[in-house]
Structure 1
Amino acid sequence: MEPIKKEGKHFVLVHGACHGGWSWFKLKPLLEAAGHKVTALDLAASGIDSRKIEQLHTLHDYSLPLMELMESLPQEEKVILVGHSLGGMNLGLAMEKYPQKIYVAVFLAAFMPYPNHISSYVLNQYFERTPAENWLDTQFLPYGSPEEPLTSMFFGPEFFAQKLYQLCSPEDLALALSLARTSSLFLGDLSKAKYFTDEGYGSVKRVYIVCTEDKAIPEEFQQWQIDNIGVTEARVIKSADHMAMLCEPEKLCATLLEIAHKYN
């Protein structure tokens, strides 16, 4: 008798700041080979998306490709959301609006929104705990208007090499440096908004994947989020820097497959 084939899940992979869907290029084929559908999208003004950072004023503007994808899903289809780094904030918006379309939200070395606080809360906590010199050659530059001042962010080569990609191959680093685009933390918008609630965002199961060698969002801050914001489950990938999908793609894939099997 033929074994019953289990139906694959749909993974939606959401990249971090200054990156794009390209950052999942090692993980995507691994998940697909295991029988799953994978969407590695570009957020607005990221990857090959044609918008420029100057056109984006809010986290919602930045998240539009993700929100449009969630809106387009058939009512009965559910996805597994995976957000990396700043991508955790984008996940929060999708979880708030479409909780019924999500099996589980996976935060990979990511910022995790704190419901019922001001929306910038977790980023504010990170800045309080991060000395200014840790940003190395990252550029924060003004854009917008005097009435609506905005700040862009672009990681420099030193920050890429020392804080994000220190365990990745030289080829991975070279790819990132050639494809990186200017982003923003949208702190002005987030400091005025309450995007996340217990009823929406908080109703979705959350799994946090800790990367122990992360020098951008250190393990201590990842653990602070887990302890204070709360998760359904926490996983750990040892020997992974901030870019686990590049330096430990097989370990990350195995972890995500276990999560997909568990959260039906």
Structure 2
Amino acid sequence: MADNESATFVLIHGGGSSGWDWHLVSPVLRELGHEVIAVDLPIEDKSTGVSEYADAVVEACGDRPNLVVVAHSWGGLVAPIVCSRIETELLVFVTAMVPLPGEAPNDWWDATGFSGLEPGDPEADAFYNGVPAELAEECNARGREQTGERDGEPSPLKAWPDVPTRFLLCRDDRFFPPEFMRGMVRDRLGITPDEIDGGHMIALARPRELAERLHRYWAELPR
């Protein structure tokens, strides 16, 4: 690791979304002395898949040092590919999907035993519980069509990247419930997740707490 005490946080959004999801987290990370990159994945391009999404992130990183790759939700399928292609100091999943090497994105749901939303729980409530109404409305309006054209293809990830990894579970998440996620993290990463109050869109609901937790993860890395 470089001697520089600041990091470059590389923030990867979830499915059907954009880098805007992180717009409240980014300034707090900058306050704490870090650089931030929030990438818009090319999800609307039918010719692209997780490999090209990872390429977009790698390109945005350039030659910056001290990279911390942070993935939310569906972005977890992209993050380890990024870490396998460029030198990374830390990988953080935030209530995110954790893939197996070679696993197609479409296969994740059945392979992990994900059962979907609870009956009678509207999708908007499952995503936005705890988010102020105006922010939820804006996030929904900014949503982008994710074609998923190539989501049936195997992931290009051949082996898990050799990088320290943390998982942050959201205790009030109604889309990826804590009970499900604890088992998924244990089975796929072999670790116990850390936990934080808040729902699935934690970056909008509790941006300062999330940013401070990410900063702490960086500070706790051995130098």
Same fold (TM over 0.5): yes
For Structure 1 versus Structure 2, the TM-score category normalised by the shorter chain is 0.7 to 0.9
In the TM superposition, structure 1's runs of 4+ consecutive aligned residues that sit over 4 Å from their partners are 131-136
Distance 2:4 2:58 in 1: 28
The answer on 1:260 being equivalent to 2:214 is no
1:18 maps to a residue whose letter is G
Percent of residue pairs identical: 21
Q: So what's the TM-score if we normalise by structure 1?
A: 0.74
Q: Alignment partner of 1:203: what SS?
A: coil
- Pairwise CA RMSD of aligned residues? 2.5
**2:134 equivalent in structure 1:** 171
Whether 1:94 and 2:98 are equivalent positions in the alignment is no
For residue 175 of structure 2, give the secondary structure of its aligned residue in structure 1. coil
Q: Is residue 28 of structure 2 the alignment partner of residue 21 of structure 1?
A: no
Q: Which runs of 5+ in 2 are unaligned?
A: none
**What TM-score comes out, normalization by structure 2 length?**
0.86
CA distance in 2 between partners of 1:194 and 1:131 (Å): 23
**Counterpart residue identity of residue 111, structure 2:** Q
1 CA distance for matches of 2:140 and 2:13?
15
Q: Larger Cα Rg: Structure 1 or Structure 2?
A: 1
Whether 1:245 and 2:208 are equivalent positions in the alignment is no
CA shift in 2, pair 1:37/1:131, >3 Å: closer
CA apart distance, 1:196? 2.2
**Worse overlay, 217-226 or 28-37:** 217-226
Q: In structure 2, the residue corresponding to 1:55 is in which secondary structure?
A: coil
What CA distance in whole angstroms lies between the structure 2 residues aligned with 1:241 and 1:184? 26
1:28 is aligned with what amino acid?
S
Partner of 1:149: none
Give 1:148's aligned residue. Answer: none
1:149-228 alignment, distance < 5 Å: 158-159=122-123, 161-185=124-148, 189-198=150-159, 201-228=160-187
Q: 2:45 touches 2:147 (CA, 8 Å); kept in 1?
A: no
Map 1:71-82; keep pairs closer than 5 Å: 72-73=62-63, 77-82=65-70
